[in-house]
Amino acid sequence: MPTNDPRPSKNQRRDEAREKARLMRIEQERKAKRTRLLVIAFGVVVVLALGTAVAFILKSNADKADQYGQVAYGGGADNVVPPTDPEAPSTADGAFIPVSKAGVGTAGDGDTTLSVYFDLQCPVCQQFDAVNGADLDALAAEDGITVKYFPVQFLDSMSNGTYYSSRAANAASIVADKDPEHFTAFLTALYSNQPAENTDGLPDPDIAAIATEAGVPTAVSDTFTDTVDGTYKVNGSDEEKSGTWRTFSPWITSNTATMQSVIGKVSTPTILIDDKAYEGSWQTPGELKTAVEAAAAAK
């Protein structure tokens, strides 16, 4: 006759429950330990990755300081006192480079003038040139009109320590000085290849290659990185400091300061017709050209 298994006693059920609880605790502790180990391992990986990233950034910044430390006048300090009589391109007239029917470097006597203040890192300047660049060349070829180009460099801070605004403006100024017939073509080529803000900007060899493609002789583009020695002061101090910078960097810095004092702000592109702010739309193709021609016809 079959016999029934006896039901577990109260003590047995209690012991079984305790054993089950013990095993559950062991499993929970095992999982918790594994989680802690994973967290620690992940933390180590993150710390190592951050350390590697910091080391890379520090090395990158050191490399940039070494490569581009002799670009901007006064080392690019915001409180540098602009020079009063800087060396300018041979084709410059004060703070600008005139372009007229007589050529680069000559402003027609009594001409209607179109002034363009520009920074080669400025994306809106790129848009301006895309819409009006050909018209500016056409206007300069007309009787009675001079286009005045004012290069500035207030966007140096937008190129991660490589001073792209100063480097590009210096290169354009050297072309105006040594190969003026390709000056405006080089400006348009730089705009066509403009790097985005908050990037490292174009390296010097790329700027030289763009110039060569625009027709600038290699003998000229090879001088883009030439430097000169000089002295400068910072605001609030009479102490003269020694420095080294690209050839026309002091002139470009002076132009930026002149724009601030004459116009009251540094903003690009700034467009003037006969030294008065242009109130029309340069975004509409042909409208600026028509306005300049109308001003010339009214004289």
What pLDDT shows up at residue 107? 96
Residues 18-36, mean pLDDT to the nearest whole number: 78
For residue 187, CA distances in Å to 72, 207, 215, 297 come to: 20, 11, 12, 28
Q: How far is CA 244 from the centre of its chain?
A: 21
Query: Is the pLDDT assigned to residue 62 strictly greater than 70?
Result: no
Distance CA 184, CA 270 (A): 17
Strands 112-118 and 241-246: unpaired
pLDDT at 77: 77
What is the residue type of 161? Answer: G
pLDDT in tens, 229-276: 999 999 888 899 999 999 999 999 999 999 999 999 999 999 999 999
Main-chain dihedrals φ then ψ at residue 56, nearest 5 degrees? -65, -45
Dihedral pair phi/psi, residue 234, rounded to 5°: -110, 155
Which residues, 6 or more positions from 123, have their beta carbon under 8 angstroms from its beta carbon?
Answer: 194, 196, 197
pLDDT above 50: residue 169: yes
pTM: 0.80
Checking if the pLDDT of 13 tops 80, the result is no
The answer for 240, left when phi > 0, alpha when psi is -120 to 50, beta otherwise, is beta
The answer to whether 140 and 101 have CB atoms below 8 angstroms apart is: yes
Contact (CB, 8 A) for 148 and 113: yes
Residue 54 pLDDT grade (very low, low, confident, very high; cuts 50, 70, 90): very low
